[in-house]
Chain A
Amino acid sequence: MKRNPLNILFFLAFVVLALVGIPGWYDRFVHGHRNVGYGQVITWGLWVAFYIHMLAVCAGSYLFSTLYYVFGVERFRRPARAALWISLVAIIGGQLSILIDMGHVERFWKIIFSPNFGSVLTVTAWLYGIFLGLVVLQLFFDIRSERHQQSSLAERDRRITRLLSILGLPVVLSFHGGEGALLGVMASRPYWNSPLLPFMFLVSALSTGMATLAFFFAFFDRDGRASGETQRLVRSLSAYALGFLGLYVLMEFTAIFINLYGSVYANVETFHMILYGPFWYVFWIVHLGIGGALPAWLLLVGRRSVAAMGLASGLMAVTFFAAKLNVVIPGMVNPAFRNLLTGYKDPRYVAFYTPTWNEWLIVLGILGLCGILFGLGCRYLPLFPNRGNQKEVAS
Chain B
Amino acid sequence: MGHSVVNYTLTMLSDLHRALKKPVRERHWVMVVDQRKCIGCNSCTVACRAENVVPPGVVYIIVMEEEVGTYPNVRRRFTTRPCMQCQNPPCTKVCPVHATWKRADGVTIVDYKQCIGCRYCMAACPYGARTFDFGDFYTKDTPEFQPYESTHSYEIGNKWARKGQRSPIHNVRKCHFCLHRVHKGMLPACVATCLGRALYFGDLNDPKSLVSRMAVHYKGYRLKEDLGTEPSVYYLS
A residues contacting B by CB (< 8 A) are 31-34, 36, 39-41, 43-44, 101-104, 107-108, 110-111, 114-116, 118-122, 125, 182, 185-189, 332, 335-337, 339-340, 342-344, 346-349
Chain A contacts for B133, CB-based, 8 A = 103
- Contact present for A40 and B118 (CB under 8 Å): no
Query: Does B152 sit within 8 A of A, measured CB to CB?
Result: no
Q: Is the CB–CB distance between B114 and A114 below 8 Å?
A: yes
B15-53 to A contact mask, C-beta < 8 Å, 1/0: 000000000000000000000000000000100000000
Inter-chain contact A125/B123, CB cutoff 8 Å:
no
Q: Report the separation of the CA atoms of residues A150 and B96 in the bound assembly, to the nearest whole angstrom.
A: 47
Which residues 85-128 of B sit at the A interface, judged by CB distance below 8 A?
90, 93-99, 114-120, 122-128
Q: Contacts of A119 on B, CB cut-off 8 Å?
A: 93-96, 120
Q: What are 13 A-to-B residue pairs whose CB atoms are below 8 Å? A: A32-B165, A33-B135, A34-B134, A34-B136, A40-B58, A103-B118, A119-B120, A185-B94, A335-B128, A337-B127, A339-B79, A346-B57, A349-B57
Quick one: given A32-B170, A43-B119, A110-B114, are A339 and B66 in contact (CB under 8 Å)?
A: yes
Query: Which residues on the B side are within 8 Å of A332 (C-beta)?
Result: 123
Which listed residue, A111, A115, A188, A343, touches B81 by the CB 8 Å rule? A343
**Which chain B residue has the least Cβ–Cβ distance from A349?**
B57
Q: Does B5 contact A (CB under 8 A)?
A: no
Check A346/B90 contact, CB under 8 A, given A121-B118, A339-B66.
no
Docked complex: B50-64 residues within 8 A CB-CB of A: 56-59, 62-64
Interface membership of B132, Cβ < 8 A: yes
Set A104, A120, A344: member contacting B117, Cβ < 8 A: A104
Q: Would A43 and B170 count as touching, CB distance under 8 A?
A: no
A337 touching B81 in the complex, CB below 8 Å, given contacts A114-B97, A346-B56: yes
For chain B, which range describes its interface: under 10, 10 to 19, 20 to 34, or 35 or more residues? Answer: 35 or more
Q: From B101, which residue of chain A is reached at the shortest CB distance? A: A116
Question: 5 closest A-B pairs (Cβ-Cβ)?
Answer: A103-B117, A343-B62, A103-B170, A336-B128, A188-B126
Q: Find out whether the CB atom of A342 lies under 8 angstroms from the CB atom of B170.
A: no
Contact with B227, one of A121, A182, A187 (Cβ below 8 angstroms): A187
User: Could you mark each residue 63-88 of chain B with 1 if its beta carbon is under 8 Å from any beta carbon of chain A, else 0?
Assistant: 11110000000000001010000000
Closest to A98 in B: B118
A267 CB, nearest partner CB in chain B, Å:
15
Q: Are B57 and A116 in contact (CB under 8 A)?
A: no
Q: How far is the CA of A336 from the CA of B64 in the complex (A)?
A: 11
In the complex, which of the residues A43, A102, A104, A340 has the most CB atoms of chain B within 10 Å of its own CB atom?
A: A104
Find out whether the CB atom of A187 lies under 8 angstroms from the CB atom of B114: no
Q: How far is the CA of A344 from the CA of B62 in the complex (A)?
A: 6
User: Is there contact, CB below 8 Å, between A118 and B93?
Assistant: yes
Does B171 belong to the interface (CB within 8 Å)? yes
CB–CB B119/A44 < 8 A: yes
A122 near B132: Cβ-Cβ < 8 Å: no
- Chain B residues lying within 8 Å of A348, measured Cβ to Cβ, are 56-57, 134, 136
Please report the C-alpha to C-alpha distance between residue A157 and residue B83 in the assembled complex, in whole angstroms: 57
A105 to chain B, nearest CB (A): 8
B232 interfacial contact with A, CB 8 Å: no
- Decide yes or no whether B131 CB sits under 8 A from chain A: yes
Determine the chain B residues whose CB is within 8 A of the CB of A102 once the complex forms.
116-118
A32: chain B residues within 8 A (beta carbon): 134-135, 165, 169-170
Report chain A residues within 8 Å CB of B99. Answer: 110
Chain B residues with CB under 8 A of A125: 96
Beta-carbon nearest neighbor of A183 in chain B? B123
Assess whether B212 is interfacial by the CB under 8 Å rule. Answer: no
Min distance, Cβ A357 to any Cβ of chain B, angstroms:
17
A349-B59 CB under 8 A given contacts A103-B118, A343-B64: yes
Candidates B94, B98, B170; contact of A33 at CB < 8 Å: B170
Select the residue from A40, A41, A120, A349 with max chain B CB neighbours within 10 A: A40
**Which of B65, B122, B135 contacts A34 (CB under 8 A)?**
B135
Q: Inside 8 A of B94's CB, which chain A residues have their CB?
A: 119-121, 185-186
What residues on B are CB-neighbors of A182 within 8 Å?
120
Pick the contact of A116 from B98, B126, B136 — CB < 8 Å? Answer: B98
B127 x A336 contact (CB < 8 A): yes
Given contacts A114-B98, A337-B128, A340-B81, contact A104 B170 (CB under 8 A): yes
**A114 surroundings in chain B (CB, below 8 A):** 97-98, 114
In the bound complex, residues from chain B placing their C-beta under 8 Å from that of A344 are 45, 59, 62
In the complex, the chain A residue whose C-beta lies closest to that of B67 is A339
- Across the interface, B167 reaches (CB within 8 A) one of A104, A120, A121, namely A104
Closest to B97 in A: A110
* Contact across chains for B64 and A110 when beta carbons are under 8 A apart: no
Residue of A nearest to B99 (CB): A110
- The answer on a CB contact under 8 Å between A188 and B59 is no
CA of A140 to CA of B176, assembled, Å:
51
Q: Separation in Å of the A135 CB from the closest CB of chain B?
A: 22
Chain B residues in 8 Å Cβ range of A103 = 115-119, 132-133, 170-172
Contacts of B96 in A (CB 8 A): 111, 115-116, 119, 121-122, 125
Q: Which residue of B lies closest to A182 (CB)?
A: B120
B102 to chain A minimum Cβ distance, whole angstroms, is: 13
